Each structure stands twice: as C-alpha cells, then as structure tokens.
Amino acid sequence: MNFHIISLFPNSMSSYIKESIIGRAIKDKKIRVKFYNPRDFTRDKWRRIDQKPYGGGPGMVIQAEPVIRAISKAIARKNKYKIVFLSPGGKQFDTKTARQIAQSIKDLVIIAGRYEGIDERVNKVFKTEKISVGPYVLTGGELPALILVDSISRQIEGVLGNDLSLEERRISSNKVYTRPEIFKIKDKNYRVPKVLLSGDHKKINMWKNAGNK
C-alpha cells in the first residue's frame, strides 16, 4: 500500500516512519510513504502558499491550487485511490475504517492542513473524505496523518509479524506484565496478578474479559 502525504512540514513525520514496526514495513516493501510539499507546487517565485481568509478572521488559509497540483501528482496514473482530507470536523477515525482502507485501497492520499486550514474548494475538485482523529484541535495534520499511516499499516498482512498481535483479533488486555514477577520499591512488593502465572488460559481470558480488575 502507498501513502501519499500532502504536508507543508514533511520533516516532522520522516523520523517517526523510519522507526520500529513502520520502519520495518517500509524496508520490507509492505508499505511506501511519499511526501508532497504544496510549496513545491507553487507557481510564484516566493513559493507562497497561504493568504488571509475571505470574510475576515485570524490566521492564514492554505491556498487550494498548490494542494490540488500536489494531489494530482500523487494520483497520476492510479485508479484504486482514496483521498482523505484531515479536519477536526471530519468523521471520527477508528479501527474499522483503518481495516476497510487497508483491504480496499492501494494508494491513500492524506491531506494534512496547517494554520486555519486549507481552502475548501480542494474538496470540490476532488472527491475527498473528511476524517478527524479525535474531538480536539491540533496545530496541524501531521500527527493525524501519522496516526492513519500507523493504524492502517498494522492491518496489512505481514506488517505486525505475528498476525495475532492484532489486538482486535484476540482477547487482549490493556494491562500487561512482564518479568520480574515481583519487584520492591520502598519496602513495598509489586506483584504480577496470580491468575497470569496460573497457566490456566480459560481463567486468564476471563480475567482479561472482566476488565483486568
């Protein structure tokens, strides 16, 4: 699967994708991540990409045309693509959406905004889906873009090494323990819950299902 990220700040994402599981997925050619900076698609010599908002208001708005040219480059000669426009007002992203995208899309274009956002007409030129990563406003779309890359990639076969690592496919717990079995801090012993040492997988799963009390 290919991710095409449209962003004014590609460097803010490049180190994250080089590390750990995502880094390995790129090395193993399970995924590809390409960046397109709208500034490289401007036509004026100052490479300007933002202007004041029509109707007034604070901040600056990213102009549509350089973003449209960047998207056009990303989708050139592609057919199974989808374009996501990141916005705090978009549809809440979740694991189900991540799985659907991983299973059906070959090229995913992710448009990361900044400042007051991107001129709305981008969404008129292309069929986009507006997605939010949560009910809060961030300063830019780079973290949301990485969230999409990360959560969609882990749904791609082979990315997690062991398929059972996908928490959604097994009984998982949000509380996990590893060695040592007991450690001591300020005279207090901190123990692993006994049930996890029992070897009784029925009981262990019951413990996990019960919310790990």
Query: Binding residues for ligand SAM, per CB under 6 A?
Result: 86-89, 112-114, 116-118, 132-134, 136-141, 144
Please report, to the nearest 10 degrees, the dihedral formed by the alpha carbons of residues 148, 155, 159, 21 taken in order.
40
CB of 84 to ligand SAM, least distance (A): 9
Asked whether the bond before 180 is cis by omega within 30 degrees of 0, the reply is yes
Residue of this chain nearest to ligand SAM (CB atom): 113
106 by DSSP, 3-state: which? coil
CB of 43 to ligand SAM, least distance (A): 22
State both tokens at 18: 């080089």
CB of 143 to ligand SAM, least distance (A): 8
Rank residues 58 and 199 by Cβ distance to ligand SAM and give the closer one: 58
* Listed residue (75, 74, 201) closest to 209, CA to CA: 201
Rank residues 140 and 150 by Cβ distance to ligand SAM and give the closer one: 140
Rank residues 92 and 209 by Cβ distance to ligand SAM and give the closer one: 92
CB of 191 to ligand SAM, least distance (A): 40
The owner of tokens 């997988």 is 201
140 by DSSP, 3-state: which? strand
Rank residues 10 and 113 by Cβ distance to ligand SAM and give the closer one: 113
- The rounded distance, in Å, linking the Cα atoms of 73 and 143 is 23
